[in-house]
Chain A
Amino acid sequence: MSDTPFVVVEDLYFSRGDTEIFRGVDLSIQRGKITAIMGPSGSGKTTLLKLIGGQLTPDSGRTLIDGEDIHRQPRRSLFAMRRRMGMLFQSGALFSDLSVFENVAFPLRVHTDLPEAMIRDLVLMKLEAVGLRGARELMPAELSGGMARRVALARAMALDPELILYDEPFVGQDPISMGVLVQLIKRLNEALGLTSIVVSHDIKETLTIADYVYVIADGKVMAHGTPKSLDVDQDPRVSQFVHGEPDGPVPFHYPAADFFTDVLDAGGRR
């Protein structure tokens, strides 16, 4: 394993309609590490993951996955590159017409010619790793949110990818399944030597497992460093985010006219 970063994002610009989402983002994701990308809601974290996965195309800039620019690949090799990645979607995104077992077996069935008996063993191993071997006959609609996310994690790992992208893995989880997911991500990363990118705004959980953190806001990387160095960062914006203060340089209010003028005006009623 070389020391070159696994994922490199260089000077990335992306806009949706007239809204600029990224204005020159640079990231460097080290192999075998958990890198967290954090930032307030609406800062484009999920969009960034989709750009790294090649599902969206940037206006300019490069995204290198193991040295190859994912946005300059023809369709066929793009799909070949994606086989080396797994992505855990916020909603789980399980195929609703397939059972838990078939969902996890899906990548194996479409990308390998393994005999049925071996597929069964592999699926049961992956489900065992996320603690849901007993739930294999259930349909996605019968699962709780946390369970669905764990099944999705088992499916993302089915082909033993080198890179896993986690989109808000902790959102809407009760404390127990939150703890389970935190441990799973950490353990899988260590046991399988994966490179992980975790997009999240759950500061406490993310900082306990991340090796390196990028904070993005206003379309740029606002700060980056190890969790320790961010904790003592003096930048007021970073400090506000990391310590979860409701108001500060990142305003609590959406831009609006002065409150009193607004109330008194009342749509020209006066």
Chain B
Amino acid sequence: MITRIMSLGRRGCDLLEALGRAGIFVAQSAVGMPSREGLLLWVRQMHFVGVLSLAIVLVSGLFIGMVLALQGYTLLVDFGAEQALGQMVALSLLRELAPVVAALLFAGRAGSALTAEIGLMKATEQLSSMEMIGVDPLRRVVAPRLWAGFVSLPLLTIGFSVVGIYGGYLVGVEWLGVFEGSYWGNMQSSVEFVGDIGNGMIKSLVFAVVVTWIAVFQGYDLIPTSEGISRATTRTVVYSSLAVLGLDFVLTAIMFGGLA
């Protein structure tokens, strides 16, 4: 019994220690003015993290918008309310689906790649050798990747929403014959800029920070063996997904559940 309590306590301490390490890690790397060199590295990482995730995010956005319209139509048409299709598609996407699904895809596509890349640099002593050359790997390797993640996920989320709404239009208007004017008009009158688009973007920004932080820290903190890298990559995807879904509930409760 005592041993169990002890091991529970030890786990708690380990968890707190890891959280502390992760906090110091992100503070040391992400805070501070970037140099010109740092900006160039950031642009390069924006390409790897953001641009290369564009295809998977946009294609998923298109399909999700199309499915939403199809499901929504069959439901709404029973009540003769198919004119509200545009409103339904847009609100579901902007408030929930775009931030959450884009973050999940981002964790799988870019997060795991970040963990593996940094982990491999650690395993092959590239980070150590950078330190010995007198270059701080936190500033040179970690910071550009963190900032690339922070910026690119909200942008990808916007792309996801736009393409998703267009997917809904393709199915709803072009295929199922909802009146085009009501699709766009209802959407325009019901979507609020701050309440819906703004809150969705805040969600997306929070997810961007959490997912990139987890991915980069897992890579930096892993045990430098092949098994260590594979475990850390898995952890990145699992932890990020759980964090995104959990935080989404909390944020939704605050934003739309009347808790605030």
Contact = CB atoms under 8 A, between A and B. Distances in A.
Interface of A: 50, 53, 55, 75, 79-80, 82-83, 85-87, 89-91, 93-96, 106-107, 110-111, 152, 155, 159, 165
Given A50-B128, A75-B136, A110-B140, 19 more contacts: A53-B132, A55-B131, A75-B28, A79-B131, A79-B136, A82-B131, A82-B132, A82-B133, A83-B133, A85-B132, A87-B129, A91-B125, A93-B125, A93-B129, A96-B124, A107-B135, A110-B133, A110-B134, A155-B133
Contacts of B140: 110
Interface in B20-76: 28, 37
B135 A87 contact: no
B125 A80 contact: no
A87 B126 contact: no
Given A87-B129, A110-B37, A93 B124 contact: yes
Q: What are the 6 tightest A-B residue pairs by CB atom distance, in nearest-first order?
A: A93-B125, A93-B129, A83-B134, A87-B132, A82-B134, A79-B134
B61 to A, nearest CB: 31
Contacts of B131: 53, 55, 79, 82
A165 B140 CA distance: 23
Contacts of B133: 82-83, 106-107, 110, 155, 159
B37 A89 contact: no
A107 B133 CA distance: 6
Contacts of B125: 89-91, 93
Nearest to A53: B132
B87 to A, nearest CB: 48
B136 A55 contact: no
Contacts of A79: 131, 134-136
26 contacts: A50-B128, A53-B131, A53-B132, A55-B131, A55-B132, A75-B28, A75-B136, A82-B131, A82-B133, A82-B134, A83-B134, A85-B132, A90-B125, A93-B126, A93-B129, A94-B126, A94-B129, A95-B126, A95-B129, A95-B130, A106-B133, A107-B133, A110-B134, A110-B140, A111-B134, A165-B132
B145 to A, nearest CB: 13
Contacts of A53: 131-132
Nearest to B35: A110
B134 A89 contact: no
Contacts of A55: 128, 131-132
B128 A93 contact: yes
A80 to B, nearest CB: 7
A110 B132 CA distance: 13
A166 to B, nearest CB: 12
B195 to A, nearest CB: 44
A86 B140 CA distance: 19
A87 B135 CA distance: 13
Most chain A beta carbons < 10 A, residue from B28, B125, B140: B125
Contacts of B129: 87, 89, 93-95, 152
